[in-house]
Amino acid sequence: MEVVIIMGGIIVNTVTSKLDNEAVYKTDIELSHERCKKFGIDSRQVFSKKILYDNELQKKFAANRNLILTAAPYMEQLINFVKGFNFFVLLTDGEGCILNALGDEKILSKAFSLKMVPGAFMNEENIGTNSMSMVISTKMPVQVSGDDHFIRAYHKWTCSAAPIKDSKGRLIGVLNLTGYAEFVHSHTLGMVIAASNAIEEMLKVKECNKIQNMNYKHIKNIFNSSPVSIITSDINGKIKICNKKAQDMFGIRGNKLEADKMEDIIENWNDIKTSIYLGQGTSKETNIVAVRNKTRYQLTTSSIYNCEDDNIEVVYVFEEIKMAKKRNDGQAYYTFDKIIGQDESFMRIIEYAKKISDSKSTILIMGESGTGKEVFAQSIHNYSSRVDGPFIALNCGAIPKQLIESELFGYEEGAFTGAKKGGNLGKFELADGGTIMLDEIGEMPLDMQTKLLRVVQEGVITKIGSSKSIPVDVRIVAVTNRDLKKEVERGRFRKDLYYRLNVLPLYLPPLRERKKDIPLLIQYFIKSISQKLNKKQPVIPGQYLQKMINYSWPGNIRELENVVELIINTESVPAGYFSEESCNNDVFVNINEDCLKLDYVEREHLVKVLKKFKGNITHSAAALGIRRNTLYSKIKKYKIEM
C-alpha cells in the first residue's frame, strides 16, 4: 500500500510499508552481524567507540551547517507526528556521526545515557548493526527492530532510517526515528522516507538558488562595473533597479535609492515623461539637474519594448558622476530623535540611554517583545563615539546551538572539509571598532556562555581551528525579553555572565504603561503605512481610539503597528479585537464622505478611461474631449499611477 505524506509543504510518495524482500533483509542483517564480529564489536557494548568533542565536534557541525539547518524543521515536524509516544529522531552525516537529536524527554534521556549524542558515530565499525549503519552500507531505507540490532542495549527499540543524498546521488546524511518496538507503526518507515525526501528536495532548491544567486551576482558585477550611473524605471517613472554608481550618486537607504520615483531625482521629469510617452526617448540626451545636490549631469534615456511593441521600461544613463558619501555595511539606522513618545517616565529612559551611550561598559536592555529594544540598541550606537564603526546584530535564539560558535567567532581556512577559502569572519570580528547586539541572549547555550564570558572579560576571541587569540574592540549590547535573574536561579544562565552583562541595565516599559504615547504612535503609523501602501489615511473615531488606548497591547508597539496596517488595508475596525463589545467591523475610511465629492467622481472616471486606452495619453485625451496638457495636469493633481 502506497503512502502519501506531506512534509514542509512538499508531497512525497513513499515506498510500501514493508520491505519487498524480507529474505534479502535477513541476509543483509546476517552479513552485518558477521562484519561486527570481525570489527571486534561486543554485543554487551553500550557506547560508540568513536565520539567527537569540543573543537573536533565544532568542525563537524560547521562542515555540515547547511544539512543541519535544512533538516531541523523536518525533524521537528516528524517528532510532532509522534509526540507523546516516546520517540526520538537523529540526524547523522554520511559517515554516521550524529549532528542533531530531538525527541520526547524520557526516551531522549535514555538515548543520551547510552551516549547517543551529537559527535557519536553510529556506523558498524563503532556501534554494530543498527538502522543508520545499514543505510550507510546499503544506501537504502531500512527498519531494524529488536535483536536484529547487534548491541543488546538496543533490542528494546525499533529504528527506522532513510538516506539523505545530494543532487549527484551521494550519501551526505541519514535520518533516523527510534522508538520502543510496541509503539512503532507499519508506516513509521514511510514517514521517515517522506521526511528525508523532503530534506533532499529542499537541499536541491537551496543549491539551485545558490547557482541563481551566483549568476545574479555575475550580472550584477558587470552592471556595477559600468563607469556611468544607470537607473531603470517603469513607464510612469517608478524606479526598479540601479547600479552602484547610481547609489553613490543619489544616496542609498537599505541597498535601495532613497528616492522611489524619477521625479524625486530630476527636476524636469515632466519633459522627460512626455518624450517617453511619445516614444521619443531613445538615445535622447537631456541636461538635467539632480534634485539631491543641484549638480548638472548629462542624461540619456532609452526605452525597452516588449514583443507587442509596448514601452514597458526606461533606462536612464547619467554621466559626469559626482561621488556621494557611501554608507558602511553593518549600519545602524535608528536614532533617538526617531523614537516617538511624550510619556514623562519614558522620556527619562531616553535621557538615561543617551547618558550611557558613550560608556565602554556592557549594556543589558530588557523588556517584553515589541517594546523597541533593537531601536534603542541602534540609537545608543549612533549616539556614541562608535557611530562610524559597524553595528552587528546577532539573534542568539535563531541559530542552532551547534553553529553559534562559528557564527560568533568564525573559523580558519581548512578548519573542516568544505570550509571557505580564507576562512570566515565571526560577528565579533565584523563588529571590531563598533557595537555588537546580542539579541535573545537568554537563549544562548550554557557552554557558549562560558566562551562569551571570556570575550567580555578579556576582549579576545579564538576562531574554530585556531589556537591564536585575536583582540577585538567591541561594545556589547545584550538584549532579552526574559528575566535573566530568574534564569540564573533556575540554573539556565551563568551567574558570572549575568553580572558581567548587567553593568548598565536598561528596562523598556510595555506599551500599556505608556498610554499617553499610543495616540502619537497610531497617528505616526497611519501616516507612514498609508504612504507606503498608497492608500487613503483613515480617520479613527474617538470611541474606537479610546478603546485602542485602553487595550493592553500584549504585543506592544509591533502589535499596534500590525493593527493599524490591518485597519488601513481593510478600511474597518477588527471585529471584537479590543473588547467583546467593540467595533463590529465598522468602516472608518468614508467618515469624511469623500466618495460624494465631484473630484472623487472625476478621478475615478479618468482612471477608467486611461485603463481603457492602456495609458495612451493622446487617445485618452481625445476620448475625454480635453487637451493632452490638461490631462497631464489632472493626472498630476489626482496622483494617478499610470
- Tens of pLDDT along 279-297? 665 444 555 444 444 455 6
Per mean pLDDT, which of 301-310, 367-376, 531-540 is the most reliable?
367-376
Give pLDDT, residue 587. 44
CATH 3.40.50.300 placement within the chain: 336-509
Reply yes or no on whether the pLDDT at 592 is more than 60: no
**Spatial separation of the C-alpha atoms in residues 632 and 642, rounded to whole Å:** 11
Give pLDDT, residue 295. 54
Buried b (16+ CB within 10 A) or exposed e, 151-180: bebbeebbbbbbbbbeeeeeebbbbbbbbe
Architecture of the domain defined by 229-319: 2-Layer Sandwich (3.30)
Q: Is 632 left (phi over 0), alpha (psi -120 to 50) or beta?
A: alpha
In the predicted model, what is the mean pLDDT of residues 87-113?
A: 95
pTM of the model: 0.51
Give pLDDT, residue 641. 79
In the predicted model, what is the mean pLDDT of residues 187-192?
A: 90
Confidence of residue 362 (pLDDT cuts 50, 70, 90): very high
- Tens of pLDDT along 470-493? 999 999 999 999 999 999 999 999
In the predicted model, what is the mean pLDDT of residues 534-550?
A: 85
**Spatial separation of the C-alpha atoms in residues 115 and 131, rounded to whole Å:** 17
- Tens of pLDDT along 197-218? 999 999 999 988 888 888 777 7
Mean pLDDT of the chain: 83
- Tens of pLDDT along 118-146? 999 999 999 999 999 999 999 999 999 99
Reply yes or no on whether the pLDDT at 39 is more than 80: yes
- Tens of pLDDT along 144-188? 999 999 999 999 999 999 999 998 999 999 999 999 988 777 688
Give pLDDT, residue 45. 93
Give pLDDT, residue 269. 73
Query: How many angstroms separate the first and last alpha carbons of the chain?
Result: 57
| Nearest CA-CA partner of 130 in 146, 119, 106, 108 | 146
Give the position of cell 536598561: 506
Q: Give, in order, the Cα–Cα distances in Å from 158 to each of 33, 80, 161, 177, 344.
A: 17, 18, 10, 8, 64
Give pLDDT, residue 17. 41
Give pLDDT, residue 323. 37
Give pLDDT, residue 576. 66
Reply yes or no on whether the pLDDT at 572 is more than 80: no
Give pLDDT, residue 311. 60
Give pLDDT, residue 73. 94
* Residue 503 vs residue 220, higher pLDDT: 503
Give pLDDT, residue 135. 96
Contact 345, 509 (CB under 8 A): yes
Reply yes or no on whether the pLDDT at 601 is more than 90: no
Give pLDDT, residue 76. 94
Give pLDDT, residue 417. 59
Give pLDDT, residue 10. 38
Reply yes or no on whether the pLDDT at 517 is more than 70: yes
**Spatial separation of the C-alpha atoms in residues 144 and 21, rounded to whole Å:** 14
Reply yes or no on whether the pLDDT at 512 is more than 90: yes
In the predicted model, what is the mean pLDDT of residues 308-337?
A: 65
- Tens of pLDDT along 420-445? 666 788 899 999 999 999 999 998 88
Architecture of the domain defined by 4-208: 2-Layer Sandwich (3.30)
Options 3.30.565.10, 1.10.8.60, 1.10.3720.10, 3.40.50.720; CATH of 512-570: 1.10.8.60
Give pLDDT, residue 322. 41
Q: To the nearest 10°, report the CA torsion of 88, 94, 100, 106.
A: 20
**Spatial separation of the C-alpha atoms in residues 264 and 251, rounded to whole Å:** 12
Cell numbers at 186, concatenated: 507499519
Give pLDDT, residue 306. 66
Give pLDDT, residue 434. 92
Give pLDDT, residue 597. 60
In the predicted model, what is the mean pLDDT of residues 230-257?
A: 78
CATH 3.30.450.40 placement within the chain: 4-208
Cα angle value 15/20/21 (rounded, 5°): 150
Cell numbers at 551, concatenated: 487595550
* Residue 574 vs residue 113, higher pLDDT: 113
CATH 3.30.450.20 placement within the chain: 229-319
Give pLDDT, residue 420. 65
In the predicted model, what is the mean pLDDT of residues 53-68?
A: 94
* Residue 394 vs residue 273, higher pLDDT: 394
**Spatial separation of the C-alpha atoms in residues 222 and 242, rounded to whole Å:** 12
Give pLDDT, residue 271. 73
Reply yes or no on whether the pLDDT at 534 is more than 50: yes
| Topology given in CATH for the domain delimited by 594-637 | Arc Repressor Mutant, subunit A (1.10.10)
In the predicted model, what is the mean pLDDT of residues 221-234?
A: 80
**Spatial separation of the C-alpha atoms in residues 273 and 271, rounded to whole Å:** 5
Give pLDDT, residue 590. 39
* Residue 249 vs residue 456, higher pLDDT: 456
Confidence of residue 265 (pLDDT cuts 50, 70, 90): confident
Confidence of residue 557 (pLDDT cuts 50, 70, 90): very high
- Tens of pLDDT along 325-339? 333 456 788 889 889
| Topology given in CATH for the domain delimited by 336-509 | Rossmann fold (3.40.50)
CATH 1.10.8.60 placement within the chain: 512-570
